[in-house]
Amino acid sequence: MKVNPNFLKKVKKYGAFDISKCFNCGNCTAVCPLSAEDASFPRKMIRYAQVGAQKEIESSLDPWLCYYCGECSDTCPRQAYPGEFMMTLRRYLIAKYDITGISGFFYRFPWIQNILVAGIFAFSLGAFAVYKGDFQELAAKIELAFPVYVTLAIAAYVFTFYRKTILDKAKKILISFDFSNIKETLIHGLTQKNFSGCSDTDRTRWIAHLLVMSGYTLTLVISNLHLLEPLKKHYGISDFATFLVFYAAFAILAGGFIMMYRRAKKKAQSSSFSHSTDWLFVVMLFLIGFTTAVVHISNMILGPQDPRVEMLYKINIAVEVAWIIIIVPFTKWIHIFFRPMAVYLRNLKKEEAQGKLFSMPIPGLK
């Protein structure tokens, strides 16, 4: 095992607390309702971090199997906040799995991220304002560029994740075609059902999370597939698009409101620490849901020709541009993919141990 004595210092940049207080009693792992024999956390992760076993952490699935119930932090005899440490690890790993290195940069210098978001927003808005052509056409082009960009970003993350956790160790491509594994992965991805594994099930948190996640994904789909043309069509209350927009806006606003409220009140362990990037994420989420809904409603009331609708739509697209470019690929949002993937890869490892797995050696990799 190679150790990196500066590792803990590095990780600490991603969260504000002191895990060196931990005296390794194991209370956290024992109290954790999600920890299991083949996925024992958080103590092991803390120990790895303390001794600087960087590789062990970077190739571990455990950070993604933790759903931050906060029971470990509540009962830790040293009040070392092991739950927050797992959250910090997730931030660290996102930065680590980002091949561009930009995420890590943003985590360390959150104000640069804020400035960039504001700058891109202002720049796009300015450009849109002076644009004389058909804005609906331009918006269509912009929105059609989104999926390419987002897909590339996600694909890069997913590949690095797979490489670090499986490829580097197994030295061959491992794939599970097991039906129950795929089913479980999908269910986890869609419902985040592990939240309910927390014994003091915090229903509000799970519902808030589910709302935000579904609203977020829906917004991403709406914009990436260019489903809305508010300057061309006049939407009515019974249109399917209206339903989608309203659901997304409602889900984001309601879920986001609950999250913000809890963060401000620091109600539960999981909300008692906030990294400033978490705030930016929540604020942008709000703006997206809000502007999309406002454009849609004004279109329904004023009709597509009204100049006020066009103005609002420009703001909406400018927010979207900043969001897609800066937030989507470079924040913890990507854990939407890592969580179910970790479930899948954990089952895959089990199947591998049982020897019933599709594997493909890679020539040249030893």
Partner 1 sequence: MSENKEFVCDSLIIGSGIAGMQAALDIGDAGYNVIMVEKSPSIGGKMISLSKVFPTLDCASCITTPKMAASSHHPRVKAFTYSEVEKIEKTNEGFEAEIIKKPRFVIESECISCKKCEESCPVHLEDEFEFGLGVKKAISIPFTNAIPQLPVLDESKCIRCAACARVCPKDCIDYLQKPEKIKIKAKTIILATGYEITPMTAKKEYGGGRLINVISSLQAERLLAPHGPYGKVLRPSDGKIPDSIAYVQCAGSRDESIGIPYCSRVCCMYAVKQAMLLSGSLPLSEITIYYMDIRAFGKGYEQFYNQARAMGINFVKAKVAKITEDQEHNVILRIDKQEEGSVPMEVKHDMVVLSQGLLPSNKNFFGLNIEKNEYDFVASSKPDFSPALTSTEGVFTAGTACGPKDIPDTIMEAGSAAMEAVNYLKSVKI
Tell which phi-psi region holds residue 26, choosing left (phi > 0), alpha (psi between -120 and 50) or beta.
left
Residues counted in the chain: 366
Q: Is 30 in the site for partner 1 (CB under 8 A)?
A: yes
Choice from 4, 6, 20, 79 touching partner 1 (CB under 8 A):
79
44 binds, among partner 1, ligand SF4, none (CB under 5 to 8 A by kind): partner 1
Question: 81 or 344: whose CB is closer to partner 1?
Answer: 81
Task: Indicate whether 23 belongs to the interface with ligand SF4 (CB under 6 A).
Answer: yes
DSSP 8-class letter at 77: T
Choose, by CB under 6 A, the member of 11, 65, 76, 222 that binds ligand SF4.
76
Tokens of 310: 């066009």
Q: Which does 219 bind (CB under 5 to 8 A by kind): partner 1, ligand SF4, none?
A: none
Q: Which does 57 bind (CB under 5 to 8 A by kind): ligand SF4, partner 1, none?
A: none
Residue 276 interacts with partner 1 (CB under 8 A): yes or no: no
Alpha carbon distance 164, 173 (integer Å): 12
Largest CA distance in the chain: 67
Q: Which does 82 bind (CB under 5 to 8 A by kind): partner 1, ligand SF4, none?
A: ligand SF4
Residue 269 contacts partner 1 per CB under 8 A: no
In the list 31, 210, 254, 297, the residue contacting partner 1 (rule: CB under 8 A) is 31
CA dihedral 176, 180, 186, 189 (to 10 degrees): -90
Question: What is the token pair recorded at 287?
Answer: 């703006």
Contact between 87 and ligand SF4 (CB under 6 A)?
A: no
Of 41 and 157, nearer to ligand SF4 (C-beta) is: 41
Stretch that binds partner 1, among 18-26, 136-144, 257-265, 318-326 (CB under 8 A): 18-26
- Residue 215's contacts (CB-CB under 8 Å, 6 or more residues apart) are 247, 248, 249, 250, 251, 252, 255, 289
Identified binder of partner 1 from the candidate list 7, 17, 29, 262, rule CB under 8 A: 29
The reply to whether 78 sits near ligand SF4 by the rule CB under 6 A is yes
Q: Are 330 and 91 in contact (CB under 8 A)?
A: no
Q: For residue 30, give both structure tokens.
A: 């024992």
Share of the chain residues as helix, strand and coil, in percent rounded to the nearest 5: 70, 5, 25
Q: Which two tokens stand for residue 255?
A: 């879920």
**Which distant-in-sequence residues (6+ apart) come within 8 Å of 44 by Cβ?**
29, 62
**Binding stretches for ligand SF4 (CB under 6 A):** 22-28, 43, 46, 76-78, 80, 82
**Binding stretches for partner 1 (CB under 8 A):** 23-32, 35-37, 40, 43-44, 74-79
